[in-house]
Amino acid sequence: MTDSLLAAEMRQQMPVSAKHAYFDHASVAPLCGPAAVAMAHWVEQASCEGDLVWPEWARQVEQTRQLAANLLGADKREMAFVPNTSTGINIVAQGFPWKTGDNMVTLGNEFPANQYPWMNLADRGVELRVISVDGVEPDIEKLLDACDTRTRLISVSWVSYCTGYRLDLAELIEAAHRRGVFVLVDAIQGLGVFPLNVEQLDIDFLAADGHKWMLGPEGAGLFFIKREHLDLLRPELVGWNSVQRSFDFDHIHWEPRPTAARFEGGSSNMVGLSGLGASLNFLADLGLSSTASPLAEQVLDFIAVARQELEAVGAECFGPSDRTHQSGILSFDLPGKKLQSIRQRCMEQGVVLSFRAGRLRISPHAYNNRQDLDRLLNVLTNG
């Protein structure tokens, strides 16, 4: 594996790489340098100036909104900021016009954030249909066959957090829409590496936090709603910022903003969104867009080599074998060895990875290089 110029350029802006071989972007990623600088600048302004610079922060929030829209190929009016993916999913779960007897469908290996909000609808008479996943690849036909005339929504992860399988969203969404079913995409495990265009794919709703592959801080995420659906969802958490005349505090009149920002309710996470905006700008400068990504090719190349070399030292890798469905997530087992003890040794030696679903999991980004992989292999083979 040769280290690309892209990886080297990106690595210069990833301070974590000076200390760790960081393979845990599917959990919580380290901040990229531009995000850290932007957030430190915000803290300095907040401590020295108070709200005198609030108008500047508000402009930055809207700049971040535009960057988020660019990333998804969306209109900025279709973008709202949320503190996490769970909140974005709950905007749909709680705001959708369910009727008793309706149902929605999801996969059995979804992250809890994409299961509990739907389970929470049972007392409203909404049935949750969970389709089991045997092995790595979900059976999309089985998912679609579970839909009937009372199915209103399918909610799936673009990339599975435990298998790394990357769905063909175009095929799924087209088939769902033919059945009159809406689709919500949890994009947190792909957005920031792989290109995704909501208009081309005809996505109805999408949620993703910025603290994984987008290299931003926790507490600053994205929610997309197709403009035609804006009035479909009832805003559940509203406040002064939900209405058109949001700064006219003396004039109380319920007239929701005609954009996705109606779901934001109150004050923004200014410091978090400053960091997210900087990280999105950083990724865009590296070539990530809604239709193309050199970062994706770099990550997939790394995964291919890592898989080959892990298997060479006795690992059993678990994940999609074809590049079309691969992602930045690769899980593996080391038969006969205590995986949690191995993870602990890795962490002690500065090799950061996770233990998920009974396996070790690495999730490299485009700045990881040969040296990082060698550090992992050294711990696995030498202890």
Average pLDDT of the segment spanning 235-248: 94
Instruction: Specify the DSSP element, H or E, that contains 272.
Output: helix 270-285
11 close to 33: Cβ distance less than 8 angstroms: no
- Please give the share of the chain, as a percent, with pLDDT higher than 90: 98
Half-sphere exposure in the Cβ direction for 200 (13 Å, CA)? 11
Taking only the tens place, the pLDDT of each residue in 66-78 is 999 999 999 999 9
**What predicted TM-score, i.e. pTM, was given to this entire model?**
0.97
327 close to 302: Cβ distance less than 8 angstroms: no
- Beta bridge partners, 356, equal 359
Look up the CATH number of domain 5-23+293-382.
Answer: 3.90.1150.10
Q: For position 342, what pLDDT does the model report?
A: 97
- From residue 41, how far is each of 267, 271, 337, 375, 382 by CA, in Å? 19, 9, 46, 34, 43
* Structure tokens that stand for 310 in this block: 């892990």
Average pLDDT of the segment spanning 119-133: 98
- Please give the share of the chain, as a percent, with pLDDT higher than 70: 99
Predicted confidence band of residue 3 (pLDDT cuts 50, 70, 90):
low
295 close to 314: Cβ distance less than 8 angstroms: no
What does the angle CA 150 – CA 152 – CA 158 come to, to the nearest 5 degrees? 135
What gap in Å lies between CA 298 and CA 4, rounded to an integer? 8
Taking only the tens place, the pLDDT of each residue in 284-332 is 999 999 999 999 999 999 999 999 999 999 999 999 999 999 999 999 9
Predicted confidence band of residue 4 (pLDDT cuts 50, 70, 90):
confident
Taking only the tens place, the pLDDT of each residue in 317-330 is 999 999 999 999 99
Sequence-ordered list of residues with C-beta below 8 angstroms from that of 28, at least 6 positions apart, any chain: 211, 212, 218
192 close to 212: Cβ distance less than 8 angstroms: yes
Q: Which is nearest to 237 in space by CA: 264, 207, 205, 209?
A: 264
Q: Which is nearest to 21 in space by CA: 369, 279, 300, 327?
A: 369
Please state the φ and ψ torsions of residue 113, each to the nearest 5 degrees. -60, -20
> What torsion, rounded to 10 degrees, do the Cα atoms 220, 221, 227, 228 define?
-130
- Beta bridge partners, 360, equal 332, 355
* Structure tokens that stand for 316 in this block: 């059993």
* Structure tokens that stand for 10 in this block: 């990106």
What gap in Å lies between CA 279 and CA 150, rounded to an integer? 41
Sequence-ordered list of residues with C-beta below 8 angstroms from that of 380, at least 6 positions apart, any chain: 310, 313, 315, 334, 342, 346
CB-CB neighbours of 164 under 10 Å:
25
* Structure tokens that stand for 246 in this block: 């949001």
The most distant pair of C-alpha atoms in the chain lies apart, rounded to whole Å, by 69
Outline where DSSP puts E strands in the chain: 21-22, 79-82, 103-107, 127-131, 151-157, 182-186, 205-209, 221-225, 316-318, 330-333, 351-352, 354-356, 359-362
pLDDT at residue 262 greater than cutoff 70: yes
Identity of residue 208: A
pLDDT at residue 383 greater than cutoff 60: yes
Q: For position 180, what pLDDT does the model report?
A: 98
Q: Which is nearest to 64 in space by CA: 284, 292, 291, 366?
A: 284
Determine whether domain 39-285 maps to CATH 3.40.640.10. Answer: yes
Q: Mean pLDDT across the chain, nearest whole number? A: 97
Taking only the tens place, the pLDDT of each residue in 148-168 is 999 999 999 999 999 999 999
* Structure tokens that stand for 326 in this block: 């691969």
Taking only the tens place, the pLDDT of each residue in 89-122 is 999 999 999 999 999 999 999 999 999 999 999 9
* Structure tokens that stand for 38 in this block: 């932007």
Average pLDDT of the segment spanning 221-225: 98
Q: Which is nearest to 34 in space by CA: 248, 262, 243, 210?
A: 210
30 close to 214: Cβ distance less than 8 angstroms: no
Taking only the tens place, the pLDDT of each residue in 164-204 is 999 999 999 999 999 999 999 999 999 999 999 999 999 99
- Beta bridge partners, 370, equal none
Domains of the chain, residue spans: 5-23+293-382, 39-285
Q: Which is nearest to 35 in space by CA: 353, 253, 275?
A: 275
What gap in Å lies between CA 383 and CA 380, rounded to an integer? 6
